[in-house]
Amino acid sequence: MDIAALHAAYAAGDQNPRCVVEGIYDRIEKEGLRPVWISIVPREQAIARAHALESQDRSKLPLYGIPFAVKDNIDVTEMPTTAACPAYAYTPTESATVVTKLEAAGAILIGKTNMDQFATGLVGTRTPYGICSSVFNAKYISGGSSAGSAVAVAGGLVTFSLGTDTAGSGRVPAMFNNLIGLKPTRGAISTHGVVPACRTLDCVSIFAETSYDASLVLANAAGFDAADLYSRQPAVGAGASPWAGAPTFRFGVPSEALLNFFGDDHNPALFKSAAEQLTTLGGVAVEFDLQPFLDAAQLLYKGPWVAERYAAIAKFIGDHKAEMDPTVATIISGAANYSAVDSFDAAYKLEALRRTTSTAWHNFDVMLLPTAPRAFTIEEIAENPIERNSILGTYTNFVNLLDLAAVALPAGMRPDGLPFGVTLIGQAFTEAALLSLADKLHRKLSTALGGSRRELATTPSLKAANPPHGCLLMAVVGAHLSGQPLNWQLTQRGGQLVKTSKTSPHYRFYALANTTPPKPGLVREPAFNGPGIEVEVWALPANTVGTFVEGVPQPLSIGTLELEDGSLVKGFLVEPVGTEGGLEITHLGGWRSYLASLK
């Protein structure tokens, strides 16, 4: 069940956490531990945890009674961490920060899931614990490296799960199992207590059936952690997404020449359909050059970043290489081919690609890509494990290197019964806006949840934040309106028009004397009952508000305006003294009407 459905069942008395946990363990006993799980919390311990929750205040626990799983490179107290390599196993004395936070929010851990060994792979076949397959067809891979985490959610064993994502491991399995796969900004969720793959790039990812669920999990998982050297505290305005509140937005789609589906016959049409549906949500497609992003992707496995994987397990691989998965050992051992000079050369190349790719974001707000070009059978991966794995990362490998955020979402079913998926990609710390848009697009493209027959339409939608993340709402009434001479002061700062509205009736409106360009002023009179004055409400990135306000000349000021619906926003007011010598134009209802009256 999704989070809202479980919470509703708990509130109605139709379910309780103990019954839910009992049902999950009954299924695991019937279906077997492998290949989804590497280890599980002892049944009695999980039931005791559920029972303890039942005496607590549900209203203070946003994830009350919600079962979840974690990938087995994430530490859980007194449970072995194997990273899918039995010889590597150790038993931690404390849980990863993210696990501790989720349990504190009321979630119930069921167990640790199967994965590509040392999180090296996008296939889910590089493990001694059995190969996970797509819940839609046992012949096809589940995707990796977070294979078991995705299958556990798609198969209805848990409501959400944690994976990790360095090259796409939180997104590719989402596509093959019809799930939401959130890859947050690097450092948004602590990786303290996570076995590193590439420590500078690793992210904890979230699998869920809906964007609503992923958003709720993120809200309880994210946050700065001093124990994680790569944890980040976003600055004011970081990830500002004014486009998320606007009636229209721009999305980047690659030129057709650079879209490669590697011989697949069905996915091109499904991707085209996804782009078309995004336009019905207000999106304006902008074609862009994907090549520099693809060039960055090549650096991850065909450059010295593989040495970072070696650094994570250097001593172990020296002593236990024969006990590792052969493909994983081959990839990580390749680090010996790179020198310190190679690392610096690659760093310089990546910095050049950052510069090139950053200019693309001037032309669009969000990027739409296939999550993976195509699916492979388990047999096909066995025939060519490295090259076909690389194909799966075509549209994912560059994201962490370029410090981007991404949400993978279901995008319809193929004629052969396999799911397809697309990914929305945004700049760092835009997760909230991406999830909101992903929810809308998901509902356009899909009907069922995960691998079940339950309907997406029965789940709560995820509302866009108001104001948009990282933004402040600013109401303008005169020279800053669209098409007026000072509107550039908003657009130059990345502001976007959210809506046109009116003030409440408690405002008088004046054309001010001796202003260049001509400007009006609003004065609030609580007892006045006028027509309301036309305003435009703009979303302005919070880190630009200071310079905007600095340019406001006396007698104008920025204060708080009441709109006709009772909501409050920042906006232009004038000191009463500023109306001296001016003309009251309240009856005209707005600046544009006044300007028209002068013609």
What residues are annotated to the active site?
71, 145, 169
d(CA 15, CA 325): 43
DSSP string, 58-107: GGG-TTTT-EEEEETTB-BTTB-B-TT-GGG-B--SS--HHHHHHHHTT-
Task: Report residue 535: phi and psi, to 5°.
Answer: -135, 155
Considering only CA atoms, which of 305, 498, 287 is closest in space to residue 400? 305
Q: Alpha helices, DSSP H only, in 446-475?
A: none
Tokens of 593: 């009407």
**What's the 3-state SS for 314-380?**
HHHHHHHHHHCCHHHHHHHHHHHHCCHHHHHHHHHHHHHHHHHHHHHCCCCCEEEEECCCCCCEHHH
d(CA 561, CA 557): 12
d(CA 374, CA 397): 15
Give the max Cα distance, the chain: 89
Q: What share of the chain is helix, strand, coil (3-state, %, to 5)?
A: 35, 20, 40
d(CA 554, CA 584): 19
Tell me if 108 sits within 8 A of 47, measured CB to CB. Answer: no
Tell me if 214 sits within 8 A of 512, measured CB to CB. Answer: no
